[in-house]
Structure 1
Amino acid sequence: MSKPSDIRRVVIASFIGTTIEWYDFFLYGTAAALVFNKLFFPTLELQQGTMAAFVTYAVGFFARPVGGIVFGHFGDKIGRKAMLVTTLMLMGVATILIGLLPTYNQIGIWAPILLVTLRFVQGFGVGGEWGGAVLMAVEHGAAGKRGFYASWVQAGVPVGLLLANAVFMFVSSSMEETAFLSWGWRVPFLLGVLLLGVGMFIRLKIIESPVFTEAKKEDAGPKIPILAVLRDHPRNVLLAMGARFAENAFFYIFTVLVLSYGSQQLGMAKVSLLNAVLIGSAVQLVVIPWFGALSDRLGRRPVYLGGALFLAFFAFPFFWMVETRQPVLVVLAVVIGLIGHAAMYGPQAAFFSELFGTRVRYSGASLGYQLASPLAGGLAPLIATKLLEESSGASWPVAVYLLVMAAITLVSVWLVEETNRKAL
């Protein structure tokens, strides 16, 4: 186990780095929900343009398992730290290039093609980042506090979302819409230059995981970690995937779909919707570590199951509250939903990491986490938008879809072993 000062340094570095990477990733989601249909798909009608923007958004999720496999392999063979630096660089450069990208009116069909390519690079980077960040926190910590330490990496996600939406809202509200669509939308992406510099400075200063260093001294490990995981731990990979379905799908409905649904279908102001996501993200920053710490005391399974069950009951009320068009109730709906999500997300990092041995842990945790991303989170806004279109704007089919996601997660977590006291 590391010294307390080393643990704090690693947790802070992982938290800040993850915040920056998810700022990059979520910034795209906000832009896809609000402006990319006009910039990159102007020849399509509003609903079809939004669908097309969400298709490019989903590409990043399909790239995440690829990144998880590639960086998981090298993270288990070479080390955690090198992968964290590499993935941060990939994400930062891709985000900056999106900010410099010509639109459809400037270069035609090449604009959406290049957009999809850069989105793939974003997804590839973030797919490899998560495993390294959580393992650094988990493998530096003591058994009784792993959930708490690793949850701070998870807390970087709502902070990234908070920053992405705050910057987007500030820029969009400080200028006329024509100026924003002309050049203002680029500003949040180009700010990635500053964030990349900060993140690289911090991550280069952390030390390698002591658990991995010790294990590497003892043996060379499997030649191909991903094959060893699939051979020795197929059940845990599948159950980790299933555990993510509700967590991932609900999150992107609460934070991405609500922006397009509220503005296009319900006629609400974009600022009100962004405010709801901002407030919900701020609340998550507090409750994610709390749920992580709670899982150290009660166990990962009961806390995770409680979150999934709560969201299953909240699927219909969420839409009822949003459809009132009352800003206070919309904010409350998003906040309540994200608290339920945090009950799963807080314990998740330690939970998944503890399911696998040290020499295959990066590959195993990344694979279980990232394989669910395209099926749950990546497709959720797209499926929900299609369901809304087919039902002439009725939200109940989306709520039923979310109930199915919750059922998959409840069964998966019920079947997985408890890990909170497991030795690494």
Structure 2
Amino acid sequence: GLASLLALNAPENRRGWYAMIPQLGAPIGLIVASALFAFFLNTLSAADFLDWGWRYPFFVAFAINVVALFARLRIVVTPSFQKLFETRELQPVPVHTAVKAEGPRIAIGAFAPLASFAMFHMVTVFPLSWVFLFTQETPVRFLLIEMVGAAFGLLSILASGLLADRYGRRTLLAITAAGIAAFSGFAPQLLNGGAIGELTFMISGFILLGLSFGQASGPVASSFSLANRYTASALTSDLAWLFGAGFAPLAALWISSQFGLIAAGAYLLSGAICTLVALWLNRELARSASDKQRAAKA
């Protein structure tokens, strides 16, 4: 992903800051989408919203994606990108080649941001679905709460860049994963705590999410060899979103409907544990590789 490439090619003492920049799009997009849906839900009849109103935010997203596409194409033609491509730092390789050479690290990289990606949907799609399906609250009011939470998330992502450069990206990911694990033990039940409980859940959740999500992309990308780094980073990013986010809203909603909100906390806890284990395995692999290099030189 873009965040991985920015982090790898940024000055060493600024990698956390550069890795954070692409992640800002998520809370900004969430604020825009929540505002649009809240507006249409509040002004249109149910029939009009179901007929055409729900499509409008997607048209806006399409327009934004067109702009983003041109921005990415401009990156491709920059001299720095061409230089990286010519030096083979950005050369794509076949997927099977990257998997064969970097399989264990790709798997670790896919699970390293699991807590962050699971948390992302636990404070966006999941609570909105829960409130709509299992409470008497209107979606408009909760969308406004979600916008407030996303604003805190935006500030936290900015803070993650500074903290990562000071203490290290993996250290920050490990600390926030532990925080998410603690959060999972009590926070989901706040959704049944009325307006104060919901606001507390969303703000605290988004703060944790921002600190984690800001550094979640490509935390182990530097472990890949130069020849495989481009393809392996892309695979890692896609697999992380698939396993960490693809099933999160539906799985959390289903187990919560069956066993209560505490079960959603258990789902989030499993993601935090996966992140901590993946970061530990990555450290052990790096230590083993370093020991082998020293032994070879000796």
Task: Give the structure 1 partner of residue 175 of structure 2.
Answer: 306
1:404 pairs with 2:267: no
What is the RMSD computed on CA atoms of the aligned residues? Answer: 2.6
1:388 pairs with 2:251: no
Provide Cα deviations, 1:43-66, integer angstroms capped at 9, x if missing partner: xxxxxxxxxxxxxxxxxxxxxxxx
Work out the number of aligned pairs and report it: 285
1:272 pairs with 2:141: yes
Match of 1:146 among 5, 15, 18: 15
Match of 1:188 among 54, 57, 60: 57
Which deviates more from structure 2 when the two are superposed, residues 272-281 or residues 208-217? 208-217
Runs of 5+ in structure 1 lacking a partner? 1-130, 420-424
The DSSP-based 3-state class of the residue aligned with 2:223 is coil
1:255 pairs with 2:124: yes
- Structure 1 runs of 4+ aligned residues shifted over 4 Å read 207-212, 218-223
- Residues 278 and 218 of structure 1, relative CA distance in 2, 3 Å threshold: closer
Runs of 5+ in structure 2 lacking a partner? 287-298
- Residues 219 and 183 of structure 1, relative CA distance in 2, 3 Å threshold: closer
Residue type at the aligned position of 2:264: V
Task: Give the structure 2 partner of residue 331 of structure 1.
Answer: 199
Provide Cα deviations, 1:333-353, integer angstroms capped at 9, x if missing partner: 111112112222122235243
1:369 pairs with 2:237: yes
Task: Give the structure 1 partner of residue 112 of structure 2.
Answer: 243
Partner Cα separation in structure 2 for residue 166 and residue 357 of structure 1:
43
Match of 1:163 among 27, 32, 54: 32
Partner Cα separation in structure 2 for residue 204 and residue 379 of structure 1:
31
TM-score (norm 1): 0.61
Provide Cα deviations, 1:183-204, integer angstroms capped at 9, x if missing partner: 2112212224542443345444
1:149 Cα offset (Å): 1.1
Partner Cα separation in structure 2 for residue 216 and residue 260 of structure 1:
44
Task: Give the structure 1 partner of residue 43 of structure 2.
Answer: 174
Please say if residues 136 and 209 of structure 1, whose CA atoms lie closer than 8 Å, have aligned partners that are also in contact: no
Q: Identical aligned pairs, as a percentage?
A: 27
Task: Give the structure 2 partner of residue 346 of structure 1.
Answer: 214
Please say if residues 225 and 359 of structure 1, whose CA atoms lie closer than 8 Å, have aligned partners that are also in contact: no
- Written as runs of structure 1 = structure 2, the 5 A alignment for 1:3-402 is 131=1, 133-135=2-4, 137-138=6-7, 140-206=9-75, 208=77, 213-218=82-87, 224-326=93-195, 328-349=196-217, 351-391=219-259, 394-402=260-268
Please say if residues 76 and 82 of structure 2, whose CA atoms lie closer than 8 Å, have aligned partners that are also in contact: no
1:414 pairs with 2:280: yes
- Residues 306 and 218 of structure 1, relative CA distance in 2, 3 Å threshold: closer
Partner Cα separation in structure 1 for residue 77 and residue 99 of structure 2:
26
Task: Give the structure 2 partner of residue 114 of structure 1.
Answer: none
- Residues 210 and 324 of structure 1, relative CA distance in 2, 3 Å threshold: same
Task: Give the structure 2 partner of residue 74 of structure 1.
Answer: none
TM-score (norm 2): 0.85
Partner Cα separation in structure 2 for residue 143 and residue 357 of structure 1:
18
Q: With a CA cutoff of 8 Å and minimum separation of 6, indicate the structure with the bigger relative contact order.
A: 2
1:222 Cα offset (Å): 7.6
Task: Give the structure 2 partner of residue 69 of structure 1.
Answer: none
Provide Cα deviations, 1:97-141, integer angstroms capped at 9, x if missing partner: xxxxxxxxxxxxxxxxxxxxxxxxxxxxxxxxxx1x225533552
- Residues 280 and 317 of structure 1, relative CA distance in 2, 3 Å threshold: same
The DSSP-based 3-state class of the residue aligned with 1:134 is helix
The DSSP-based 3-state class of the residue aligned with 1:417 is helix
